[in-house]
Amino acid sequence: MPPGPGRRAPLALGLCVLAHFLAAPTLGERPGQLTPSRAQRWLQNLGYRWRLPRSLSPQGQGKKVSRTKSPGGGVRRAKSPTPEPVVQPPPEAPVGVAENPHAADEVSVAENLAAAALAEDKAEEEEEFVAENWQTPAVFGVNKEPAHATLFPFESRELALLGDREHSERFLSLDGIWKFHWAKTVADRAPLDFVQPGFDDTDWDEIPVPGNWETNGFGFPIYTNIDYPYQHLPPLISYKDTVGMGADYNPTGSYRTEFEAPHEWGDSPHAVYLQIGAVRSNVYVYINGHAVGYSQDSKLPAEFDITPYIHIGRPNVVGLQVMCWCDGAYLEDQDAWWLAGISRSIIVFARPPVHIRDFEVRGRATPDGRGRFDVTAELRQLGAPPMSYADVKVMCEVLEDRDGGLPVILGERTSVAAFNPSDPDAVPRVLSSNVVTAHMQRRSRNVAGMMTSSRLEIAAADTQLWSAEEPNMYTMLLTLLDREDDVLEVIRLRVGLRDIEVRHGRLLINSKEVTLRGVNRHEHHPDLGQVIPPDIMSKTSSSLILDPRP
């Protein structure tokens, strides 16, 4: 009988069942974990390589996957660092069976081939990691921490009152001289193996961080008013070649340095973050050879969780790659000098696994003359086991301010030497305080988190409103406490009270009509470019506030 549909159907069904049996991944020991399928394990024993999707692989499970939503609604997934190659040992020969004298050589060749293949895959992934982001408008951050209010987590109330983060054991500055490689195009940039710990950078140049390239002998500054220095072909970058540099001119700088995480960070669990204060126009971040993340936005801090990538008590290699222009530069064209590089400080800091991720403070005066602050803090927990809401609480305090109302630069007091936290007479008087426990609260349409909300009121006799003429301020402390009231971290900030309203088309501040006179302000120094030392900032800010001229 010739074959027909009646005979082919059982055969096809049997092949489908067999294929599903061989190809389907099996459940692992942990809930939700997937392991290689039977066919994949069989191929692996024959020397073939296989790889699950990164988000499903055992190495990728449990790792954070960042998503960046594009203006058009698309979502891109950031890649996790490529896991280190794992070479399986050869199976032992059965008892009584003669071993193959060439088995060791065959295993060595197989290991070398596998390592070479993994290295090639890693190089291709890193190349793609660089290539796909800097001219893709939908991507402006990969594995970058969400933005939050300016803060530093001190380990004690005394250090928070002092207000100088350099006195904290949780703070580490990476400012200083870095190894540096400059190329005039993206294609000529340093090879990506420069991020590896064993890379030889003895022939590289050096550059101060923070520091603009053009003020340190690399490239040349460009001034434009209303024109772009590149062709208007968004999101692509094509230089308007007026000096013979070529259309692909886009200077690219590669940075290398090392830091050693203090042993104290390993004595108890800590989350470790890298913060880049400002960099133009984008930056790729690597730690010990691992691709950590990506950021673009020339004047906002970029913060990354580097906890999984660092070693405690031994050197850690930081690699950064920066391009002069990316697609985001189309939104940053202003009447100013184009200067590339890292223009603000880079720091590494540690926090307890449970910490205050963000906060919001709203201050106003009540009709009876008292001051009122409404404080909301968002808490975050890294690691397991999860804590209940009763395990943590936040103490909010409002203290009188001893700084004379002058602005404080970068969160530091105007005169650190004048303040001694061990002197009872020097400790600011507490005007109001409150302790609240955490609760679940919806932060947005689809996101809920552990939050605390508090209201603090100040007596009318102690209430002083802020204005440009009289910039009265208060010191506020947010202290995170555990169940035993032990301090986890303390955040210090300076806040003010003011009422702003628009009445009959007039802007009123504290019920007084105000006329705004705008100024075109850019961060610019005649010698340092867009790197502004704190003493210059303090001098400039004081002159703007105290200058009585209209």
Condensed to tens digits (0 to 9), the pLDDT of residues 172-208 reads: 999 999 999 999 999 999 998 999 999 999 999 999 9
Neighbour-count burial of 63, counting CB atoms closer than 10 A to its CB (0-12 exposed, 13-18 middle, 19+ buried): middle
Q: Token pair 């900030």 is at which residue?
A: 493
For 25-81, write each residue's pLDDT tens digit: 443 333 333 344 444 443 344 343 434 334 333 333 334 434 343 333 333 434 444
Query: What's the pLDDT tens digit per position in 90-119?
Result: 444 434 434 455 555 555 666 666 666 666
**34 burial via Cβ count (<10 Å: 0-12, 13-18, 19+):** middle
Give pLDDT, residue 535.
Answer: 83
- Reported as a single tens digit per residue, the pLDDT across 141-177 is 999 999 999 999 999 999 999 889 999 999 999 999 9
What is the largest distance, in Å, between two alpha-carbon atoms of the chain? Answer: 108
pLDDT of residue 111: 64
Domain with CATH 2.60.120.260 in the chain: 142-154+161-351
Work out the percent of the chain whose per-residue pLDDT is above 70: 66
| CATH for the stretch 142-154+161-351 | 2.60.120.260
Question: Over 50: is that where the pLDDT of 431 sits?
Answer: yes
527: pLDDT strictly greater than 50: yes
pLDDT digits (tens, 9 = 90+) for 273-300: 999 999 999 999 999 999 999 999 999 9
Give the pLDDT band (50/70/90) at residue 429: confident
pLDDT band (50, 70, 90) for residue 121: low
Q: How confident is the model at residue 386 (pLDDT cuts 50, 70, 90)?
A: low
What is the phi/psi pair of residue 542, to 5°? -65, -40
- The pair of structure tokens assigned to 47 is 């020397």
What is the average pLDDT across 415-436? 70
Q: How many CB atoms lie within 10 A of CB 137?
A: 15
Weakest-pLDDT range from 207-216, 274-283, 442-451 = 442-451
DSSP string spanning 56-67?
Answer: TSTTTTTS---E
Portions of the chain given CATH number 2.60.40.10: 354-498
**What is the pTM (predicted TM-score) of this model?**
0.73
Q: Mark out the alpha helices in 226-322 (DSSP H runs).
A: 264-267
**199 vs 131, higher pLDDT:** 199
Place of tokens 């772009």: 228
To which residue do tokens 């702003």 refer?
500
Distance between CA 298 and CA 283 in Å, rounded?
10
The CATH homologous superfamily for domain 354-498 is Immunoglobulins (2.60.40.10)
Q: pLDDT at position 96, please? A: 40
Listed in sequence order, the residues at least 6 apart from 217 whose beta carbon sits closer than 8 Å to its beta carbon are none
- What does the mean pLDDT of the chain come to? 77
- pLDDT tens column, 455-506: 999 999 999 999 988 999 999 999 999 989 999 999 999 999 999 999 999 9
210: cis peptide before it, omega within 30°?
yes
- pLDDT at residue 116, rounded to an integer: 64
Q: Which residue is associated with the tokens 């005649």?
A: 526
Q: Is 8's pLDDT higher than 60?
A: no
The secondary structure element, H or E, covering residue 305 is strand 302-305
